[in-house]
Amino acid sequence: MDVKTILVHLADDEECERRLKVALKLAQIHNAHVTALFITKPLAMPAAVAGRAASSVFLESAYEASRARAKRLSTEFKDMADRAGVDHTWIVEDGEHLGHLRYHAHVSDLVVVSQINQALNFEDHFRVRLAEELVMDIGAPVLIVPRNFEAALDPKHVLVCWKMTYESVRAVRGALAFLKRAELVTVLSIDESKEGMLSAAEVVSYLQRHDVTADAELVPSSDRSAADTLIEEAEQRGAQMMVMGAYGHSRMRELLFGGVTREMFQKMRLPVIMAH
């Protein structure tokens, strides 16, 4: 699938400008439109804020600061987009982040969000799971940008984390525009059985019919977690991007017990395209 509309999530957070630059660079590469969605509601409540009155004062001040930043950033964004020759739309919304992102994602080919901030206090980890919730809730693929990410956005080697599930299938199809541009795509399975290798080989054949240079690799399971294995394999092979299905069950189970998807959100060091 071609990437022709990129939705980028913006807010009053430290990774905001990084996400915006990522979206603009991707739009240049893929000749795409950028919809910049700035949502003014604070992403998290500081641990020091307690009580209804304190929360109300904090929210009022935070909204005011966020709207001021949106106004400043809109001018910068329009200037950057014009200089880059990128068609663009600027939208500012109040309210819940997930709801607004879900709505605008219906007419987007790719949604750009940031990796979770591991420095958040424990309570905010329960409230600020935006990337995870978004991947589970929308039909479009989601590009999660690692914190402090500075590398290239036109990857020459992409690692596909393959498992024979519909989530993996949707992730591969959603990332096809990136896979076509890559010089090499490695379809990696973690499995001790021959079936895992065969399914990955079928994906390679599918990709080759789309003019994608790909190969299949099988990594035996080990004592390492699946997320650690995938991250280490990607880095050892020199991959610059990862593609994987987001596997989720009940929200409470994922929240309390984690899983490979949640662990990947926490540990990722490369951009990851996910789909559910």
pLDDT tens, position by position, 199-241: 888 999 999 999 999 999 999 888 888 899 999 999 999 999 9
The predicted pLDDT at position 205 comes to 95
Bridge partners of 187, per DSSP, are 160, 216
Range picked from 120-129, 165-174, 176-185 for highest mean pLDDT: 176-185
Mean pLDDT estimate for the chain: 85
d(CA 111, CA 26): 11
Report strand pairing: 110-114 vs 5-10: parallel
3-state helix, strand, coil in the chain (%, to 5): 45, 20, 35
Q: What structural domains does the chain harbor? A: 5-145 (3.40.50.620), 157-275 (3.40.50.620)
d(CA 53, CA 162): 50
For the stretch 7-22, pLDDT in tens is 999 999 999 999 999 9
